[in-house]
Structure 1
Amino acid sequence: MSSTYEALTVDVADHIAQVTLIGPGKGNAMGPAFWAELPVVFADLDADPDVRAIVLTGSGRNFTYGLDLAAMGGTLAGVMGGDGATAKPRADFHKHLKSMQQSITAVADCRTPTIAAVHGWCIGGGVDLISAVDIRYASADAKFSVREVKLAIVADVGTLARLPMILNDGHMRELALTGKDIDAARAEKIGLVNDVYADAEATLAAARATAAEIAANPPLTVQGIKDVLDEQRTDAVAASLRYVAAWNSAFLPSKDLTEGITAMFEKRPPEFTGE
């Protein structure tokens, strides 16, 4: 069985669902369709008793470039505009941000185990996404970046809530505060990914093999294990997401935000002033 959406494809066979990011933005960038379709797809898979494991991957040369800023410009426009200091645009932004958070949370809350197979770039929102899965594999060419800081944005849809439960504090802070790129070898060393494979094909094959191992186990017991493990972090994640949504709704509008986004599109180093 296969289904195609605008931003995703879903293929189900032998109790394994493969969810593939397909864009439509360059590098599978996360535009409006992604944020709308992701929770629908994972809710449907969660409700399907025939699906016992889910593999998440990207089409083409990259996993994802992260948030599609060109397509999602309207989300920031209200708080960046001339009336951005008033309550209404900030309240609208807060509502939209909470909806985006819920899209990633739909992956984390799915009772079915999830495995990410990452190749090429995994930037910004891509790290939010893989932070929400259970197991992460990477190809040797994979590169990861919590890049929001370079745009004068506090990462707000899951990375800062979930990644501290995956990485130790020093590694987490280094990634978030620098926005640096790290390769697959470094990602494996710090525990961001479980294993590294030669190429995208081998990475996907490994993810599917692990999915098959999981699918062969008693499904209710597997769900129980995931539920018990998730219970240890549910409250902390929810509190962190609430806090960052309020923080960004209050403090995101800035000259530095405009400069960061402008510099990105102009492909030049930004000049931040702290304003």
Structure 2
Amino acid sequence: MTDSSSWKAFTVERAEHVAQVTLIGPGKGNAMGPDFWSELPQVFAQLDADPEVRAVVLTGSGKHFSYGLDLPAMAGDLGQVLADKAQAKPRTDFHAMVKRMQGAITAVADCRKPVVAAISGWCIGGGVDLISAADIRYASADAQFSVREVKVGMVADVGSLARLPLIIGDGHLRELALTGKDIDAARAEKIGLVSDVFDDAAAALAAAHATAAEIAANPPLVVHGIKDVLDHTRSAQVDDSLRYVAAWNSAFLPSEDLTEAITAVMQKRTPVFRGR
């Protein structure tokens, strides 16, 4: 059954106690623009409240899971904090925007219904933030991952730095976050970012649905309890990290390097960073 809500960035389908949430853009490669950030918490609030849904499969439409933050679509919001660097108002507004974006990803992590992500193609930046909020992650053999914010003059601030230490460990995260390098599905499985790798996108999605169905067949209150207990020990650490990075980026994000990064993306060229 397809959700009757007219989402712009998602489709939602429900069948036999499992919901499938599919990223559909509208940006290229399911890039995360304003619609994504405003709709994501609403989608997962509805699924959390739906007694017929016991597990969720999260995937992307087309060849790629997500290219991450849609910089052209979000440039206006970023431009406000860059336009008047010394003033409190744009920094305060930017801090509030970061908190809203963090809240959107946290809505996935906090959903009482376990979330199984099926990832194919590129999963970049905000895409990694999003899958870090899932309970289980599967990939197709063509999947590639990148914590790429450093490449565009930003500190990742909506979930990766808070949640990935608990998934892949501190050392692997430092390598990915400090280099912005790309890793393939085999490497992602080796470091624990994904639980398993499948031949293609269809097989990965089928595996995600099979696992979601297994979860949905268990007593739902017990499943909720398992998630609650597992999340209890980590929630304070994640919340503290998110609060700190929101404040840090509000203070230090404005830079010539960030402007250069956004300009380079628009002009499709390699940025030149000068540490200013």
Which SS does the other structure have where 2:174 is aligned? helix
Which letter maps to 1:269?
A: T
Counterparts of 1:99-138 in structure 2, within 5 Å, are: 99-138=100-139
Q: CA separation in 2, counterparts of 1:170 and 1:93? A: 30
Cα displacement (A) at 1:264: 2.3
Cα displacement (A) at 1:265: 2.5
Match of 1:60 in 2: 62
Provide TM-score, normalisation by structure 1: 0.98
Match of 2:148 in 1: 147
Aligned residues: 274
Q: CA separation in 2, counterparts of 1:84 and 1:96? A: 16
Match of 1:239 in 2: 240
Contact 1:79 1:85 in 2 (8 A): no
Q: CA separation in 1, counterparts of 2:120 and 2:233? A: 30
Which SS does the other structure have where 1:129 is aligned? helix
Contact 2:153 2:261 in 1 (8 A): yes
Q: CA separation in 2, counterparts of 1:35 and 1:213? A: 30
Match of 2:258 in 1: 257
Counterparts of 1:146-225 in structure 2, within 5 Å, are: 146-225=147-226
Q: CA separation in 1, counterparts of 2:131 and 2:17? A: 21
Q: CA separation in 2, counterparts of 1:212 and 1:105? A: 23
Cα displacement (A) at 1:45: 0.3
Provide TM-score, normalisation by structure 2: 0.98
Contact 1:141 1:183 in 2 (8 A): yes
Cα displacement (A) at 1:102: 0.2
Alignment gaps of 5+ in structure 1: none
Cα displacement (A) at 1:117: 0.1
RMSD: 0.7
Q: CA separation in 2, counterparts of 1:47 and 1:18? A: 15
1:27 maps to 2:38 = no
Which letter maps to 1:18?
A: Q
Match of 2:47 in 1: 45
Match of 2:15 in 1: 13
Runs (4+) of structure 1 moved beyond 6 Å?
A: none
Counterparts of 1:80-91 in structure 2, within 5 Å, are: 80-81=82-83, 83-91=84-92
Alignment gaps of 5+ in structure 2: none
Which letter maps to 1:47?
A: A
Cα displacement (A) at 1:124: 0.3
Q: CA separation in 2, counterparts of 1:231 and 1:30? A: 29
Contact 1:52 1:113 in 2 (8 A): yes
Cα displacement (A) at 1:74: 1.6
Match of 1:2 in 2: 2
Which SS does the other structure have where 2:73 is aligned? coil
Cα displacement (A) at 1:197: 0.2
